[in-house]
Each structure stands twice: as C-alpha cells, then as structure tokens.
Structure 1
Amino acid sequence: MSATTERTRARSPRVRALYRWLFVLPAVLYMLAFFGYPLVRNVLMSFQEFTPRTYFTGESPFNGLDNWRAVFEDPLLKDAFWQTMVFTVGSLVGQFTLGMALAVFFSRRFRLSGLVRAVLLLPWLVPMVVSAVVWRRIMDEDHGVLNSFLETVGLSSDGVPWLSSPSVALLSVILVNIWIGIPFNMVILYGGLQEIPEELYEAAALDGAGPWRTFWRITLPMLRPVVTVVLVLGFMSTVKILDLVLALTGGGPADSTQTLGTLTYQLSFLRLDFGQGAVVGNILIVISAVFAVLYLRANRADQGSGR
C-alpha cells in the first residue's frame, strides 16, 4: 500500500504537468494556426515574386531582397512612415488627454452620469467605416455641417478643405480618430480611478494639496500601470489603421494621408504586388512587436516595484 502511494506521489508532478499542457494546448494550437502560420507566410512572401499569376500557376519564385530593395527605394515609404508616426502620436495624445479629463470628470459621480457615459461610448461601438462615412459628410467642403457651423459663427467664410487639402487632410483624419478613441481611454482610465483608495485623497486634502497637485502626486502615479496598458494598446491599434483612412481620404490628396497600413493595401491590392505589400506588413509587425516588448518590460518593472 505504501509502495503504491509512493508511486502515485512520484507520478503526480508529471500528471499535473500533463494536465497543464492539455489545458494550454487549445490556445497554443489556435495561436499557431491563426497567428503563427500567417506570420510565417507573410515573411516568406516578402522574399517571393508573388503576383496574381501565382494564384493560377502556383509559382512564386524567391527573388531574394528584390522586394525589400524596391520598397525601401520608393520615396513613398518614407512619407508613409512619418505620416504614420504623426497620425499615431497625435491620435494617442488627443485620445489620452481627453479620455483622462472625462474619466476624472465622471469619477465625481453625479445624476445621470451613467447615462452620459453610455452615450459617450457610441463612437467606440459604431463600426469605424460607418464613423468615417459620417465624418466625410460632416467635413465636406461645400455642403458639410462643420463648415456651415463655422460660417454661421463667423470663424470661416470660404469653407475649410478638411479632406481635400494636403496641408489639412492628415489633421482631419487625426481629429476623427481622436473622436473614435476617446471612449476606450475614458472607460479604462475610469476603471483605474475607481481602484485608487479615497484615503489618499483625504490625506492630501488635509495637507492642503490642491486639485492639480493631487492629480500629479497621487492620481497619475497610481494610474501608471493602467496608463501603460492604454497607451500601448492604443499605439498597436492606431499604427495599423486602414479602414478609417481609406474611407475618409483613400490616402490622398497627393498621398498626404498615406500611412503604412494604406501603403500595404495599395501595394497588394492596387499594384497587385503582394510581395512588396508583405514587406510593409512585416515593417508594421516589427513596430508593433517592439512596443509589445516595451509594454511587457514596463509591466514587469511595475510588478517588481510592488505597484
């Protein structure tokens, strides 16, 4: 009896390890099938001559670094990269600032605050293409509601070419994306604010700290893990946006709103050079992976410091 018990105990670590792997296996298979395989295929495609003819002949010969060389020699890549960075940074700053302001505002809890928060969630719940189509009508230079309002209040007489001017179009796309992303930032930051102990604010008030000092010394430091999550997830979703830009401007005018996402679409589905499109896609993957690693390191640092 004792020998059987000892054998059972000896097997138990192996059995527990087997059970752990059995529970993890479905997730691993899912990741390999829907993330690993497409990623490997995309990398391989960037080194192949992959065109519409490939779908009929099945031939996609390797062409070495030709695709990479052609993409990096294209001056549009540099413009798309910097416009992607401007679009991403501008969107994140606007979304985070306004989202934080609304989260702090609603944390005071007043009548109908829940209803107002629910209404503010609508831009986030509506499909992005629908939002883009609506804003395209709003920003129409001749018949848009926005220009009509500006003319009514005397701020503009000729109408602003929101989506038809190369100097204004990127700003317009950023403003629309800020409008769409505010609810996400507000909801996550509002949840983080609810976790801050009220005793800290009471102690700050007894010490004579004003609202701004309380925000910078208590609220923001306590929200650091939440802020990290919001900014990293916001970056990874914004840097690859495609549908919003396509629906608003199509990458124009004069490529002034061309981003890495739209450049991937243009190379793959307009020029029909899937190999070069895969190259730009890989660049986006690398950028997202870098920020994912930074997020994991920041999260590990926060856990190590006991925050």
Structure 2
Amino acid sequence: MKQIKSFFRYDNIGLLYALPAFLYMLFFVGYPIVSNLILSLQNVTVRNLVRGSRDFIGFDNYIKLMHDPVFLRAMFNTLLFTVSCLVVQFVIGFALALLFQKDFSFARPVRGLLMIPWMIPMTVTALIFKFMFSTDVGIINYFLKSAGLITENIQWLTSPSTAMAAVITANIWIGIPFNTILISTGLTTIPLELYESAAIDGANGRQKFFKITIPLMRTTIESLLVLGFIYTFKVYDMVYVMTGGGPVNSTHLLSTYSYKLSFEMFQYSLGSSAANVLLVILLLVGVVYLKITMKGEME
C-alpha cells in the first residue's frame, strides 16, 4: 500500500499523464511492429493465413528478397527517388528562403501561397500530376509542343524511361514549401550584426553566404535533410496513385512493392519482410536525427 501511495507522489504525476500516450503507442505501433516481425519469419500466404500451420522459416524470406530482381530494383528506385528529391527540394527551398528574407511587396502573401502544395492531400496532388503528365490531354505535353520542344507527345507515365522522372517531379513540388519554411526559420536566428560587420570588413555576398549563413545554419540543414530523408523514403500513396509501381516495375519503391507482395500477390511474409527492411533503414536514420538534435541542443 505504501508503494502505491509513493507512486502517486507529485514527482511521478508526469508518468500518469504520459501513460495514455504510452498505451496508445504500445497498442497501435508496438504490437504491429512485433507482429510484422514475427510474420516475416514465417511462411504465410493466402492459403494458411486463417487456417493451417505457419512454419517458422527464419530469415529465408529476407534471403529470397535479396535474390528478387524486382526488390533490388525497388531498393535502387527508393534511393534514387529520395536523393533526387532531397537535393532539388533543398536547393530550391534554400533559394526561396533567401528570397523571402528580402523586404519586398507581397512577400508575406506569396510565402503563404507557397504552403498550398504542402497542405493539399497527397492523393489529390498525385491525381493532379497524373492528369498533367497524361500523354494525350496532359498540360505538360501541350506546353512542350507549343514551345516547339517536341513534335510528338511523350508517354510520361507509361514509359519506363520517363515515369520515375515524372514521379520525382511531383514529389519535389510537394516538398519545396517544407524546406522553405524550415530554412526561413533558421535564417531568422542569425544576428544581422554579423552581416553588417562582415560588410564593413569588405565581405561580398558569396563570402557572407559561405562564411556566415552556412556555418550558422549547419544544425538546421542537418535536421532538415534527415527529416526530408525519412519523409521521402517512405512515400507510398503518391507513387501508387500516379503509376502503381509501373510500368514494368520501373517506379516501384520499397513501400509500394511491400504492398504489392502483401495485398496483390498475397505473399504476406515476403511483404512484411520488405516492410521491415524499410523500417530498419528509417530507424537508423531516426537515430542519426536524434543525435543531431541532441548535439544542436547542447551547442
């Protein structure tokens, strides 16, 4: 009884407030992860999902995935998709953030309008770009033809050589506002006196950027890139709506291929194994993000 009373002391009241969130995470996050991990170590298909024996086969599913050319292609596509989006989003986002630091008319309204791509649901954006990249009625082909750059319509979403570029373009458009806002927030923390002192010493704009802006923005840039990697690496709905992983598996990511294995091919154990590969990679990146955050707080 004394132990129960001691637990309800004022010092432990924070644990009671955190208990509902802990139980929620345990049930809706912890249990699915553990269940998915167990499923990946078994041989579960549509035939023995409800009834029948689930044989424990260890890491055979992971070994099978490593010899699956579609899985290897999905892994490569995921890395290509993530790195391409991160680089372009960061460069354009940084340029727009520097632009909006200038004092000019309509800066605030334009900055607010820039958030529209981020606020629109992903599936809606995917449908918009799917129509834009349509072969016959798409506005992309219309403008390219009007400018005299092409003579025949490009099959953006039905050709393996151009489908990935179209998907990457759509995701870049979504991620630019996120980069712009975070970089703009980081720029506001740099004292203006540093730029004024540098100008007095004869520093030009390029020197100010590389000697003041970039070093003082290092923690923000690192956090932004890690967060962007996590958000981009697990993209699913946009790719599924635009291409469904096709044509000829050319746009399959780890997320879409895991879905295909589980809910289209009904190879549940293989699908869970692919999902676990995605989870492990994101966990490693998450650890890096936590280290960067803790390092930034200490500094």
- Give the alignment partner of residue 131 of structure 1, picking from 125, 130, 154: 125
Structure number with greater Rg is: 1
Structure 1: which amino acid aligns with 2:225?
L
Q: Distance in 2 between matches of 1:50 and 1:255?
A: 24
Report whether the alignment pairs 1:100 with 2:94: yes
Gaps of 5+ in 2: none
Report whether the alignment pairs 1:230 with 2:224: yes
Question: Match of 2:42?
Answer: 48
Structure 2: which amino acid aligns with 1:20?
G
Q: Distance in 1 between matches of 2:136 and 2:83?
A: 30
Q: Distance in 1 between matches of 2:257 and 2:6?
A: 55
- Give the alignment partner of residue 88 of structure 1, picking from 51, 69, 82: 82
Question: Match of 2:20?
Answer: 26
Q: Distance in 1 between matches of 2:232 and 2:62?
A: 24
Structure 2: which amino acid aligns with 1:64?
G
Tell me if structure 1 keeps the 8 A contact 2:227–2:289. no
TM-score scaled by length of structure 2: 0.92
Q: Distance in 2 between matches of 1:97 and 1:183?
A: 12
TM-score scaled by length of structure 1: 0.90
CA positional deviation for 1:85? 0.2
Structure 1 residues 127 and 59, CA, compared in 2 at 3 Å: closer, same or farther? farther
Question: Any runs of at least 4 consecutive aligned residues in structure 1 with deviations exceeding 6 A, and if so which?
Answer: 11-14
- Give the alignment partner of residue 150 of structure 1, picking from 144, 148, 152: 144
CA positional deviation for 1:152? 0.8
CA positional deviation for 1:243? 0.8
CA positional deviation for 1:61? 3.7
Question: Match of 1:4?
Answer: none
CA positional deviation for 1:54? 4.6
The worse-fitting range, judged by mean Cα deviation, of 143-152 and 108-117 is 108-117
Residue-by-residue CA offset, 1:246-300 (whole Å, 9 max, x unaligned) = 1111111111111111110110111011111110110011100111111222233
Structure 1: which amino acid aligns with 2:288?
L
CA positional deviation for 1:105? 0.5
Structure 1: which amino acid aligns with 2:189?
E
Question: Match of 1:245?
Answer: 239
Structure 1: which amino acid aligns with 2:208?
T
Secondary structure of 1:142's counterpart equals coil
Q: Distance in 1 between matches of 2:52 and 2:282?
A: 31
Matches within 5 A, 1:175-186: 175-186=169-180
Q: Distance in 2 between matches of 1:258 and 1:247?
A: 12
Q: Distance in 2 between matches of 1:168 and 1:117?
A: 31
Structure 2: which amino acid aligns with 1:218?
I
Report whether the alignment pairs 1:262 with 2:256: yes
Question: Match of 1:207?
Answer: 201
Report whether the alignment pairs 1:196 with 2:196: no
Question: Match of 1:6?
Answer: none
Give the aligned length.
295
Q: Distance in 2 between matches of 1:12 and 1:73?
A: 57
Structure 2: which amino acid aligns with 1:30?
Y
Q: Distance in 1 between matches of 2:224 and 2:66?
A: 32
Q: Distance in 1 between matches of 2:222 and 2:73?
A: 28
Residue-by-residue CA offset, 1:133-186 (whole Å, 9 max, x unaligned) = 111111112221111111111111112222122111111111111001001111
Report whether the alignment pairs 1:292 with 2:286: yes
CA positional deviation for 1:102? 0.6
Secondary structure of 1:42's counterpart equals helix
- Give the alignment partner of residue 164 of structure 1, picking from 151, 158, 161: 158
Question: Match of 1:118?
Answer: 112
